[in-house]
Amino acid sequence: MTTVFESYISLAMDIKTSVADWVVVLDSDPLSQEQLQVCRAVHPPEVKGAIRCDDEENSNNPLCSEIDYFPAFCHVNENSCVYGVRRTLDEFAQLATLVQPNPEDPSPRTTSQAPNQQPTNPTA
């Protein structure tokens, strides 16, 4: 079954194809534009694509209205998002440690830490 995230993945970014489970969610703000440039430069293998919420094609994407901040990194299988600009491959690699699965909650869960901080659980 295709998730909401997978349904709306835009291939607008030049990112290597991988077995990644993350998409970056962007808007027209300066931090999103910076994140887009970083992704184009470092080709993070953890990121499989992008959702550009400022693109008319994605204007009705429910994820764009559900996340709290841009840029966001959303795990497509766990339906969870984390926020903040990631600039290095090490920071992208940390994504795998930030999201804890919760099979009882189908809505996107979010944490609002910057890279190198411990995740927070807003439902705790």
The correct answer on CATH 3.40.30 for the domain covering 4-111 is yes
Place of tokens 């809505």: 107
pTM for this entry = 0.66
Cβ pair 51, 61 in contact under 8 A:
yes
Is the pLDDT assigned to residue 2 strictly greater than 70?
A: no
pLDDT tens readout for residues 27-81: 999 999 999 999 999 999 889 899 999 999 988 888 898 988 999 999 988 888 8
Q: Give the domain ranges of the chain.
A: 4-111
pLDDT tens readout for residues 95-117: 878 765 555 555 544 444 444 43
φ, ψ dihedrals at 31, nearest 5°? -65, -35
